[in-house]
């Protein structure tokens, strides 16, 4: 139960940050999402995102900030084993599931669905 409360609060707060960027700083949704991804990557670089995942679970892995975190982690892990070229080969290693799933499911949806409204 504890894990669910932590996930709710942390995940909710990250979305509130996104809402503030949209309403107060007046960024478009695309700018907001790009900013959050970069923030996630920077936090990963500073080693702060991993503790957040340990604390909040899905509250930290579901928001888009974790995409930035995973990109850095994939690149770092591969760079440790194969050297500097590993950054290029490893960058999509962890996020591959998310990106591939999004492309495949979205393509199937485009084959089946018609635009609404």
Partner 1 sequence: MSNKKKKKLTPVQQEYQKFAKEREPKRPVAVNMFRAFLVGGTICVIGQLISDFFLWNFNFTEKTVGNPTVAVLILISVILTSTGVYDHIAQWAGAGTAVPVTGFANSIASAAIEHRSEGYVLGVGGNMFKLAGSVITYGVFAAFVIALVKTTITMLGGS
Distance separating alpha carbons of residues 44 and 69, to the nearest angstrom: 5
CB of 51 to partner 1, least distance (A): 14
At residue 25, what are phi and psi to the nearest 5 degrees?
-80, -15
**Residue selected from 48, 50, 55, 102 as contacting partner 1 according to rule CB under 8 A:** 102
CB nearer to partner 1: give 29 or 51. Answer: 29
Task: Enumerate residues 66-85 that contact partner 1 by CB under 8 A.
Answer: 66-68, 70-72, 75-76, 79-80, 84
- Report the C-alpha gap between 69 and 11 in whole angstroms: 15
| Residue 1 within binding range of partner 1, rule CB under 8 A | no
Write the binding mask 12 to 51 for partner 1: x where contact by CB under 8 A, - elsewhere.
Answer: xxxxxxxxxxxxx----xxxxxx-xxx-xxx-xx------
CB of 87 to partner 1, least distance (A): 5
C-alpha–C-alpha distance, residues 66 and 94, integer Å: 11
> What distance in Å separates the CA atoms of residue 35 and residue 17, rounded to the nearest whole number?
11
For residue 93, give the 3-state DSSP assignment: coil
């Amino acid at each position: 139960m504890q894990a669910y409360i932590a996930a709710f609060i942390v995940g909710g707060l990250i979305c509130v940050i996104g809402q503030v960027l949209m309403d107060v700083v007046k960024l478009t949704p695309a700018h907001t999402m790009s900013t959050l991804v970069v923030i996630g990557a920077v936090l990963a670089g500073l080693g702060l995102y991993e503790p957040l995942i340990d604390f909040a679970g899905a509250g930290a892995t579901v928001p888009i900030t974790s995409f930035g975190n995973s990109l850095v982690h994939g690149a770092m892990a591969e760079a440790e084993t194969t050297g500097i070229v590993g950054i290029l080969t490893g960058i999509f290693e962890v996020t591959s599931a998310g990106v591939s799933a999004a492309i495949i499911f979205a393509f199937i949806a485009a084959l089946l669905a018609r635009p609404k409204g």
